[in-house]
Amino acid sequence: MMPGRSSVGRPGAPARGGQGGRGGRPGSGGRGGSGGGGPRGGFGGPRGGRGGRGSTQGAFGRGGGAPRGRKSRRAKRQEFEQQSAPTIGGVVVPRGDGSTPVRVRQGATLTDLAEKINANPAALVTVLFHLGEMATATQSLDEDTFALLGAELGYDVQIVSPEDEDRELLESFDIDLEAEEAGEDDAELLPRPPVVTVMGHVDHGKTKLLDAIRSTDVVAGEAGGITQSIGAYQVRVHLGDETRPITFIDTPGHEAFTAMRARGAEVTDIAILVVAADDGVMPQTVEALNHAQAAGVPIVVAVNKIDKEGANPEKIRGQLTEYGLVPEEYGGDTMFVDISAKQRTNIDGLLEAVLLTADAALDLRANPNTDARGVTVEAKLDRGRGAVATVLVQRGTLHVGDPIVAGSAYGRVRAMFDEYGNPLEEAGPARPAQVLGLTNVPSAGDSFIVAPDDRTARQIADRREAAGRAAELAKRRKRVSLENLTDVLKEGKVDTLNLILKGDSSGAVEALEDSLLKIDVGDEVALRVIHRGVGAVTQNDVNLATVDSAVIIGFNVRPAVRVAELADREGVDMKFYTVIYNAIEDVEAALKGMLKPVYEEVELGTAEIRQVFHSSKFGSIAGSIVRSGVIKRGAKARLVRDGVVVNGDLTVETLRREKDDVTEVREGYECGINLSFRDIAEGDVIETWEMREKPRD
């Protein structure tokens, strides 16, 4: 180094050259050689020195570290994984070994699957596109799509069953029902009443039998004498010096209520199979028998109508022997009891047979000193009381004030009533009760549990509702109307007919859905129910139908005036029925392209009841004002209360204007209407209609 070039650089800076070189910028290394130590050519200041030309960069320099051109270990590992990973359509995806199980919930999305297999959701979207399916990463997919994608990627994609999904949901809230039941001591289990289901063919006397047992008149309040909802009742049976309770579940005998009968067999301990002695074994008798046997419950056969001419109880015994029910007198283990529900003959003998079967074949015990859980037998919307659920407690004791969850409904038990309307403070095992306080109407068959607190109950219900909504979204397709279904199919615009079902009770809606889904129309068109509910048709139902081109089918319900106007404006097809067979026939005919509307229902007029007068001669008289159209004497009528049909098979018997009998009353005028029906109230709406022939185009 030349002495003349050894001047000191700026304060804190090393020299530009090696040791003793010209001072560089503050914090930078010298231009030649490696930065030296000391005040004149030392390492840089706070910013670190930059290595000289042709030398290795310093560890403290701005470009410190590995030399340029070298890759880090992470970069090498990522490059190796990308080169070795399989690709589909140029997209890198992780693969399984062909049998790797992956569990996803119903209605899951590609994002959910990507989390399970550690993949990029966008990559799965691309793979699915190459397989001929288009979907977004957040779109709910059905089981078939997941199976297709899993087979391509080498995974066995399994859809979690609703029961397993619900159990995992409850376990996430520290509610393990199976562990609680397994941990019970025998000393905690106390005897409980048997739960009995009455099953059989339509018009074989099931409701008459319950009528005889309860000494009440149930049949008189049923449309057409056919039970169209599930009821649960508890009666106390006096046998000798002992009084024992028995819980009865009345399942409808209509063939369309197969699902409800099956559910009755699932919650019951003993099934009473009612067979008419003058009619014999019918198809629904065999159907009910199969449900009871599939549930593994003992069967007691009640041979009814032995008082009628032509009754042959021995023939019934012989016929049922072919189905595995061998009477005790023939050496079997099934008790047959000959009764007459109408004459109330040998009812005590039937009840004694039920108790003997329960004592001999079943160990009916439950722990009453724990949180209640059970099943929803029926649920409906009630005027002034909101959602009313009939529940059957299977374990524990339900108290007023308990926070409960029933399906996607939750709430605190505001009040409880027995089958006669008497208030209850608590309901123990095998005790049916009507529960008030739920936020919405649960479905028949939904299990209910007592939650630790209101917040947990709401969270469980919200999670269940979200899971159910995702499962429904996975099934959605285009929708059409019944009348134009044939034309739309010919144009190739749709391959699925989707329906929205609304009814007066959850059991009726479920039964209608079950019957419609059983319609066999081949492979040309499919039918799906995307939404179901209890109560009148609402604006939300119409909006949903508008978006998805849906058909709305109402069973014993009517839409509000504004809802009907909205549906007409949006072109939504709405059909309303009071007989379930007609709904099934219309949908089946539409699906098969054979819809032949011979008659159509034409509304004549509506009247609002302003005041009710009671007459010893004429009964209840409805003082009404005609709101629309015309009311005609002799016209068919229905009574609507809060959007729900109270009675759909009425006739305008008499029509008076002031003191004169008239044949019709037009819009805006007041009149007196006699429907020969006592259950009318102020605010009810009378709709009159007639059937007119409509030729098919």
**Which segments are annotated as binding site for GTP?**
200-207, 250-254, 304-307
Neighbours of 577 (CB within 10 A): 20
- Per DSSP bridges, beta strands 660-661 and 654-657 are antiparallel
Q: Beta strands 447-450 and 432-438: pairing type?
A: unpaired
**Measured distance CA(208)–CA(226) in Å, rounded:** 11
The H or E element that residue 501 is part of is strand 496-503
Query: Can you count the helices (H) and strands (E) in the chain?
Result: 17, 34
To the nearest 10 degrees (0 to 180), the angle between helices 121-130 and 143-153 is: 100
CA distances in angstroms from 548 to 58, 292, 551, 552, 574, listed in the order given: 68, 39, 9, 11, 14
Sign of CA dihedral 435, 440, 445, 451: negative
Rounded to 10 degrees, the C-alpha dihedral 145/147/152/157 comes to: 120
Residue 367 and residue 188 in contact, taking contact as beta carbons nearer than 8 Å: yes
- Give buried/exposed letters for 59-93 (b at 16+ CB in 10 A, else e): ebbeeeeeeeeeeeeeeeeeeeeeeeeeebeebeb
Q: In the beta sheet, which residues pair with residue 304?
A: 276
Known binding residues are 200-207, 250-254, 304-307
Tokens 């010298």 found at:
30
Map tokens 């008419």 to a residue.
276
3-state SS class at 12: coil
For the purposes of burial, counting CB atoms within 10 Å of the CB of 440, is it exposed (0-12), middle (13-18) or buried (19 or more)?
buried
Tell me the pairing of strands 619-632 and 670-674: antiparallel
